[in-house]
Amino acid sequence: MRYADFSFKKVLSMTMVFMILIFATGITYGQKKDYLRGFSISYYFNTIENTLKTFAYKYEFSNYQGNSFTASVFDALGKDFSLNSDNSGKTAKSLPVLVYHGITANTDEFNISPDLFKEQMFALKEAGYETVKIDDVMAFFRGEKTLPEKSFLLTFDDGRRDSFYNADPILQTLNYTAVMFVITKESVSEANSRSSFYLSKWELERVAKNNNWEIESHGRNAHGFYPIDEKGNSGHFFSNKLWLKDKNRLETTEEFEDRITEDMIGAKEDLENSFRIHVTSFAFPFGEFGQEETNFNEANEIALRDSKSIYDFLYYQIRGENGFTRNYPTEDSFLIKRIKVETSWKGSDLVWLLNTSSDKSLSYIDNMDSDNGWLDPWGDSYMENENLVLKASPNTKGSFVFLNGTYLWSNYELEASVNFPKGSAVALIAQYKDEKNYSMCKFTYDHATLEEKIDGKQKILAITKKPFDLPRSEWGKIGAIVDGNTISCLWNSEEAIPKEEVNEILSHGGIGFTTWGEKFNESELRIKKIVASPIEL
């Protein structure tokens, strides 16, 4: 290096500059590790990015609403979309709660793409839905406060970074709020604060100050699988007594209870001490609270009893179409069910679910010209030629549907026009609460029965033996009169089974239909009209 000048002055000054730079960056970086607890420069990058995105999303949403390019540009520059266009003034009788897990480009069953999430939220906003905050939800379920008719609670499980950073600009745009259920082991304890998957404690401090977000508990260690027998099989935290390897035995009931209580209290303290917030709600990891397959039968009872004593409200999640999708302020309302939003749903699917689950008022007439919320826990059902069709599937002998949004119905007369080309029995469901609790009027070619199902146990309450001319090719009518907790069955508008008392928990409930056949994939029922009218007391 003949042409380099390594004079003392140059080398010295460069060494000094070099030392100062290394020292300064080293100290700043060290600060980050030791004192700033997960200070994340990407938080600021993402914040800048999300601020810019909010402008773009406001433009997109305005465009989505059908505004012109110019109007959309103006909206992007500063429109506040919090003003709800729906001023019906009606109040909600029930509340739907949505749960998401992750928002990322790599989609699967639990991870939705940012674009689809945005589309779903746009569709909800456009349909007039607004989010509510957790305090309002509690007041609503305690009967202390009313909510606008089109309200919903938006929740995220696990405290994931992708959920927060991708959802935040959309929430900002639409003025929505969301609840983040945080796993404190992943986000609050120091050891894991460097994870790029979960929000760090440092980030959560900022989330806690963000008006669009609320933080609640998702357990401390409970979000995992633990050994439940000596063979090393593993199971969920709240459903099982764990295997204690050092003692070579399962936990005692006391140890089980101590463990789950400690976890729930610990998680609550982690959050309250770190972010100076009041934690009231707990989302069960994996949505399980001992109701699943277990090596300990009392788990469900104990888990619910203990969690109820620690938290005000408990959240779990439902999938499929087994029961009503909303929550009602009734005796059990500390336990909130959340709809797992499927990552295949379009915005219109989600709006349909929320619209059709809203409480239908009596009188109600359904001409079957569109699907007003018929859900099928088993078998198949579909709309065809302005008929609702129940069809046995290849692995069922029958089919079952109920109408979403009828949970609160009581004292009604119901009549349905049906055609029953194939199958051996057809039944009208009344007072449907869930798949384990309902009553029904059932007809076969030679008898009719009034049956109830309470906690899954089926019981025949009354029987009438006479031939019924099942409407194979023509249309017939089946019906029921529900009066308090009594019920009578109608065949072609004439009484087939006189008034009979059913279990008192069935004093209200929705409607549905079910069929059976002799063979798989055979039975078929078509319904073209139902009329439900209130009866005079």
Partner 1 sequence: MKKKIFQEKETINNLSVKKTKNTHVWITFFLTIYFILLVKLTTIEAIINDKFFGIYSILITTYILSRFLFSYFHGTVPTDESYKPTVTFVVPAKNEEDNIAETIRRFSKVNYPREKIEVIAIDDGSTDGTLAEMYRIKKEIGNKFNVEIVHWDKNKGKREGMAEGVLRAKNEIVIFIDSDSFIDKDCVTHLVKYFVNPKVGAVCGHSDVYNKDTNLLTKMQTVRYYIAFKIYKSAESIFGTVTCCPGCCSAYRKEYVLEFLDKWRKQKFLGVRCTYGDDRSLTNFIIQKYETVYSEDAMAWTVVPEKFRQYMRQQQRWKKSWLRETFIASTFMWRKNPIAALSFYAYIFLAFISPIVFFRAMIWYPYITNSLPIVYLTGLFLMLFLHGLYYRASVGVRSWFLAIISFWFNTVILMWQLPWALITLRDTRWGTR
166 binds partner 1 (CB under 8 A): yes
Cβ proximity to partner 1: between 120 and 515 the closer is: 120
Nearest to 79 by CA among 88, 91, 71, 89: 71
Part in contact with partner 1 (CB under 8 A); list of ranges 10-18, 146-154, 259-267, 295-303: 10-18
Judged by CB under 8 A, the chain residues 183 through 222 that form the site for partner 1 are: 194, 196
Residues 308-347 that bind partner 1 (CB under 8 A): none
In the complex with partner 1, which residue's Cβ is closer, 1 or 83?
1
Q: Of 162 and 366, which CB lies nearer to partner 1 in the complex structure? A: 162
Give min distance, CB of 42 to partner 1, in A.
7
Contacts of 62 (CB under 8 A, 6+ apart): 71, 72, 75, 76, 79
Please provide the DSSP assignment of 307-368 as one string. HHHH-SEEEEEE-TTSS-SSB-SSTTTTEEEEEE--TT--HHHHHHHHHHHSPPPSSEEE-S
Among 12, 15, 19, 24, binds partner 1 (CB under 8 A): 24
How many Å apart are CA 262 and CA 244, to the nearest integer? 17
**Interacting residue with partner 1 among 19, 45, 301, 421 (CB under 8 A):** 45
Q: Contact between 19 and partner 1 (CB under 8 A)?
A: no
Coil, strand or helix: which one is 526? strand
- Residue 441: name the closest of 471, 432, 377 by CA: 432
Strand 226-227 vs strand 234-235: parallel, antiparallel, or unpaired? Answer: antiparallel
Q: Which stretch binds partner 1 (CB under 8 A): 41-49, 85-93, 135-143, 507-515?
A: 41-49
CA pair distance 504, 489, nearest whole angstrom? 18
Q: Which CB sits closer to partner 1, 22 or 460? A: 22
Q: Rounded to 10 degrees, what is the CA torsion of 349, 352, 354, 356?
A: -150
Q: Under the criterion CB under 8 A, does residue 460 sit at the interface with partner 1? A: no
| Strand 178-182 with 151-158, pairing | parallel
Judged by CB under 8 A, the residue of 3, 455, 456, 494 near partner 1 is 3
- DSSP state, 95? B
50, 167 contact by CB (below 8 A): no
Stretch that binds partner 1, among 13-21, 173-181, 340-348, 521-529 (CB under 8 A): 13-21
- Between 6 and 394, whose beta carbon lies closer to partner 1? 6
- Contact call for residue 34 and partner 1 (CB under 8 A): no
* Site map (CB under 8 A) of partner 1, residues 47-76, x = contact: -xx--xx-----------------------
365 binds partner 1 (CB under 8 A): no
HSE-up of 57 (CA within 13 Å, CB side)?
26
In the complex, what is the shortest distance from the CB of residue 3 to partner 1, in angstroms, rounded to a whole number? 5
Work out how close the CB of 345 gets to partner 1 at its nearest, in angstroms, rounded to a whole number: 18
Q: Which amino acid is at 442?
A: K
* Cβ-based neighbours of 414, under 8 Å, separated by 6 or more: 428, 430, 479, 480, 481, 482, 511, 530, 531, 532
**41, 191, 365, 537: which one binds partner 1 (CB under 8 A):** 41
The alpha carbon dihedral of 408, 411, 417, 418 has a sign of: positive
Find the shortest distance in angstroms from Cβ 236 to partner 1. 30
One-letter amino acid identity for 353? L
State which residue, 2 or 231, has the beta carbon closest to partner 1: 2
By C-beta, is 113 or 387 nearer to partner 1? 113
Burial class (CB in 10 A: 0-12, 13-18, 19+), 272: middle
Handedness of CA 416, 421, 426, 431 (dihedral sign): negative
- Total residues contacting partner 1 by CB under 8 A comes to 32
Which of these segments, 4-12, 122-130, 320-328, 464-472, binds partner 1 (CB under 8 A)? Answer: 4-12
- Selection from 431, 444, 413 nearest residue 508 by Cα: 431
Say whether residue 10 binds partner 1 (CB under 8 A).
yes
| Choice between 7 and 85, CB closer to partner 1 | 7
Name which of residues 98 to 157 contact partner 1 (CB under 8 A): 104-105, 113-115
Contact between 83 and partner 1 by CB under 8 A: the answer reads: no
Q: Does 15 bind partner 1 (CB under 8 A)?
A: no
Q: What does the binding site for partner 1 look like in residue numbers (CB under 8 A)? A: 1-7, 10, 14, 17, 20-21, 24-25, 28-29, 41-42, 45-46, 48-49, 52-53, 104-105, 113-115, 166, 194, 196
